[in-house]
Structure 1
Amino acid sequence: MSTRSFRNTFQSHAMNQTPLLNLITDFVDDFRQPAILWQALVIIACLALSWIFVRQLRAVLARRADAVVPPVSVEVRTRTESFIRILTPVLTALLLGVSQHFLARFQSVNLLGIAIPLCTSMALVRFGFYVLRRIFARHGEISPVMLLLEKVFTIIVWLGMALYITGLWPELHAFLESIVVPLGRNKVSVAAILQAAISVAVLMVLAMWAGTALDDRLMKMQGLHSSLRVVMSRMGRAVLILVSVLVSLSLVGIDLTVLSVFGGAFGVALGFGLQKIAANFVSGFIILLDRSLTIGDVITVGQFSGKVTQINTRYTVLLGGDGIESIVPNEMLISGGVQNMSLSNRMIWLSATVSVGYDTDIDVIFPLLEEATANVPRVSKSKPPSATLVRFGADGLDLQIGFWISDPENGTGVVKSNVNRAIWRTLQEHSVFVPFPQRELRIIGAASSALPGATATETTGPASQP
């Protein structure tokens, strides 16, 4: 079939022509004219210019990142690269739009009219990936659920773009408007429900993205106290989410006064069933505001002990020396006693004990033990160690060597072990006897041990000097 007969076939069905057939007819017209070549050249030129610009921008940012001291982290580099990938389709769409505006004065631009939405949809998909990973993949870990969410988002964007290009979107919208769902005394169309859901979802994602960006920016402000930064971050994110919900409800035409009923119901539920949650929530803000705890403090509360790694609105995370994380409700930190090893003074006192024989000259051994302890890494030099005689034990003299450390967040087990090893080496080098219990079992009347009158005694005493 020739091009003219093909066109006549479509024109014969002009009364029943659909937007898709209009699109095909326009393409047939363009292919019969040299205009298609000019449009193809414009598309290629716009793609090339965008690619060259983005490549130069990537090289400039890479040089600046290498020149920064300390070097930029891998997470920041990955985030920057993901954002740069959005610029290529965005710049292409802008250049195509400008070209379409001037080229439309001289010829038809049907091909450009399709290329622009395609580039826009590509930019929207990449921007959606960037935002979603910025929110839900903070440390570069992409879960299967995240991948599934990205695939669903991609399908929705491309499906909507296909409906827009083919001109079927108005018909689909009219069809959804015709389907009415009864909600109590009112009737709402499916189109209004979908519009409300999409508005809420989009604004919520944007609010969470803005909250994440605000969190990162506040955490880099070293001039503010860490607790104040956390408070501002939490409150900023909560305000952004609340504003996004209210704006999205207003956009879809929902009267905000109806939320007063929900507020009353929420207050009743809060009074009866959510007391603990509300108490933990308020306690979290109190902890952050009064600065009784900060991230990095080493605390002990009840049976939990460790370094504070997170202070959330409901709970606080403690990282123990054994690597186990404990989730402590904030109410426990407010209503109970808390031992904070680094609240106003990070210096804490530790001790090691050892027993020596009664024939040991403690006036000689004390300086040796203090010097050996002072040479151990992490032991404070500003507050030197001190050795004391604690008691006269059953087996020997009980000595205690006390010392200070200024970094309790690094744990105490290793430094105690190093101090004990230094003490032991010193005692061995100076041939100091360390007594230990020795048990001696005596059987009276060994020859008649099987007789009923046989008895046994056990004595305990210090071991003799070898």
Structure 2
Amino acid sequence: MENQSQDFDRVLMSVDEIWHLITSFAVSILNPGWRQNQIIILLALVLVAWVLHRLLGREIDRRVRAREGWEKWKLRVIVQIKRRLGLICFALMAGLLYQIMQQITWPSRSYLIGLAATLAVAWAVISFLGRFIQNRLLRRFVVWGMWIYATLILIGIGDEASGFLDDVGLNFGDYRISLLSVLSAAVVVGVLFTGARFISRTTASRIRSNEDISPSMQVLVVKAVQVIFYGLALFMGINALGLDLTGLAVLSGAIGVGLGFGLQKVVSNLVSGVIILLDKSIKPGDVISLGETFGWINSLGARYVSVVTRDGREYLIPNEDLITGQVVNWSHSDEYVRLDIFFGTSYGCDPHVVRKLAVEAASGVSRVLGPPKTPVCHIVGFGDSSVDYILRFWIRDPTGGLTNIRGGVYLALWDIFKANNISIPFPQREVRVLEEQD
């Protein structure tokens, strides 16, 4: 209770100091003099900056719409500049006016104008840097926190504000959490996560551009880099909050045991994903069949694999199913895929001619490969009403579809058989109608 009373007294003293500074500044502005004149000048500059923002913003829109083919990053930069055009104009005008007044009058008569110009520059820089934080809520929190902190530092009451925030807190035994430590930790975490995201993205782009690394190993390395950098950012943020990480070891172990029982499937999928990446059995771009699902691997995730089918559907298959189930990987060892087509012709057709025509028909289809993967045709049996054949051909782009290439070869067989009088038999039935007997 005594510690809480002391903390409360310190908070009241900090509030009194800050309030005294604010009231003193307000009284000095209300009295006629150069401080009041500077405030009037700053208000005029704000009005001019607002007008310039409207006029120049329309001109920028007109010029951007007149040009085509710009890269996305250039358009994003222009949009961000346009949104902050008024602040930029105000900073430029206030800075220029401050430099002029420093030369023609006493420095104290332009102090507020210089301070406003510095604040505008700081706000603009913080606003631009905040765009690197993707999370909108975290970005707003960090940007507003940095704006307030920069403002308090520049106007000279940063120590008083820091003391006030440090005095506001809660005690948990020997450990104390203050509002200042919470805000500092949030800003640190935001900055560190932004840096971790930038580094991981840069590293990922370089790893993916390295052709010496297999696609599955690229995904594994990228995931490892992301876990390392984001983990470091999280631990540094906790350390900035002042928490003792060693004290959390027992608690985290107990939580881990509980989660292990409740999240067995999730853990199994995570481990299966690591196994898939290590043994390189499945990698992005492979064409697989799993049950009734046929498609190509779009991406490998920590919990599931994204498989895109020919009809545009995207299946999210758990990693465990790919480890425990039977998967047909059409492009595991190489990119060549052999397809088989069965057909039959009547006994009156010369099988030598039929085989030659079948190979010729398949070779004329665009996606069918030529030498050394030339199509072949063999007799596989003598049926009840036809001589049965198998036509085998190779393709190297299974992502282009299998049904369509089979259909193209069947159509080519139909055309060439019709042109050469090769008949395809079909079952015939003879129906006899018996007379009714008495």
Fold equivalence (TM over 0.5): yes
Residues 357-366 or 280-289, more deviating: 280-289
Distance 2:78 2:215 in 1: 29
Residue 406 of structure 1: which of 396, 399, 402 is its match?
Answer: 396
Residue ranges of structure 2 left out of the alignment (5+ in a row): 1-17, 53-62
Residues 256-265 or 17-26, more deviating: 17-26
* 1:30 and 1:110 in contact (8 A); partners too: no
What are the residue-to-residue correspondences of 1:246-265 with 2, within 5 Å?
Answer: 246-265=235-254
Distance 1:167 1:21 in 2: 13
Deviation per residue, 1:174-226 (Å, 9 max, x gap): 66555544657755344443443443344334423432333233323334322
Distance 2:212 2:283 in 1: 15
* 2:215 and 2:283 in contact (8 A); partners too: yes
**Residues 1:208 and 2:197 aligned together:** yes
Instruction: Report the CA distance between 1:413 and its aligned residue.
Output: 1.2
Distance 1:197 1:186 in 2: 19
- CA 1:171/1:258 → structure 2, altered by over 3 Å: closer, same or farther? same
**Residues 1:347 and 2:302 aligned together:** no
Query: Residue 397 of structure 1 corresponds to which residue in structure 2?
Result: 387
Distance 1:149 1:247 in 2: 17
Instruction: Report the CA distance between 1:286 and its aligned residue.
Output: 2.4
Deviation per residue, 1:269-306 (Å, 9 max, x gap): 24422333222222222222332222111122344432
Instruction: Report the CA distance between 1:87 and its aligned residue.
Output: 11
Deviation per residue, 1:12-46 (Å, 9 max, x gap): xxx985426616736964467799989999xx9xx
Residues 236-245 or 179-188, more deviating: 179-188
Residue 28 of structure 2: which of 11, 25, 28 is its match?
Answer: 25
- CA 1:112/1:40 → structure 2, altered by over 3 Å: closer, same or farther? farther
Query: Residue 238 of structure 1 corresponds to which residue in structure 2?
Result: 227
* 1:26 and 1:110 in contact (8 A); partners too: no
What are the residue-to-residue correspondences of 1:180-199 with 2, within 5 Å?
Answer: 180-181=169-170, 183=172, 188-199=177-188
Deviation per residue, 1:306-359 (Å, 9 max, x gap): 211111122211112222222222223333443221122221211222221111
The one-letter amino acid of 1:123's match is V
* 2:288 and 2:297 in contact (8 A); partners too: yes
The one-letter amino acid of 1:418's match is G
Residues 199-208 or 180-189, more deviating: 180-189
SS of 2:311's equivalent?
coil
* 2:94 and 2:116 in contact (8 A); partners too: no
* 2:342 and 2:388 in contact (8 A); partners too: yes
The one-letter amino acid of 1:353's match is F
Distance 1:166 1:34 in 2: 15
SS of 1:245's equivalent?
helix
Instruction: Report the CA distance between 1:105 and its aligned residue.
Output: 5.8
What are the residue-to-residue correspondences of 1:12-411 with 2, within 5 Å?
Answer: 18-19=21-22, 22=25, 25=28, 29-30=33-34, 74-78=71-75, 103=102, 108-132=110-134, 177=166, 179-181=168-170, 183=172, 188-382=177-371, 383-411=373-401
Distance 2:74 2:21 in 1: 48
Instruction: Report the CA distance between 1:149 and its aligned residue.
Output: 7.6
Residue 417 of structure 2: which of 396, 421, 427 is its match?
Answer: 427
Distance 1:275 1:35 in 2: 65
SS of 1:114's equivalent?
helix
Distance 1:254 1:153 in 2: 21
The one-letter amino acid of 2:420's match is H
Query: Residue 456 of structure 1 corresponds to which residue in structure 2?
Result: none
Distance 2:375 2:245 in 1: 68
- CA 1:212/1:90 → structure 2, altered by over 3 Å: closer, same or farther? farther
* 1:90 and 1:123 in contact (8 A); partners too: no
Query: Residue 433 of structure 2 corresponds to which residue in structure 1?
Result: 443
SS of 1:423's equivalent?
helix
Instruction: Report the CA distance between 1:434 and its aligned residue.
Output: 1.4
The one-letter amino acid of 1:398's match is D
The one-letter amino acid of 1:347's match is Y
Residues 264-273 or 314-323, more deviating: 264-273
* 2:343 and 2:388 in contact (8 A); partners too: yes
| TM-score, normalisation: structure 1 | 0.70
| CA RMSD of superposed structures (Å) | 4.6
Distance 2:75 2:96 in 1: 31
Deviation per residue, 1:149-190 (Å, 9 max, x gap): 877777777677777788887776666555544657755344
Instruction: Report the CA distance between 1:97 and its aligned residue.
Output: 7.9
| TM-score, normalisation: structure 2 | 0.74
SS of 1:310's equivalent?
strand
Instruction: Report the CA distance between 1:75 and its aligned residue.
Output: 4.4
* 1:317 and 1:328 in contact (8 A); partners too: yes
Distance 1:282 1:349 in 2: 33
Instruction: Report the CA distance between 1:385 and its aligned residue.
Output: 0.7
Distance 1:201 1:254 in 2: 17
- CA 1:217/1:296 → structure 2, altered by over 3 Å: closer, same or farther? same
- CA 1:193/1:16 → structure 2, altered by over 3 Å: closer, same or farther? closer
SS of 1:367's equivalent?
helix
Structure with the bigger RCO (C-alpha within 8 Å, sep 6+) is: 2
SS of 1:115's equivalent?
helix
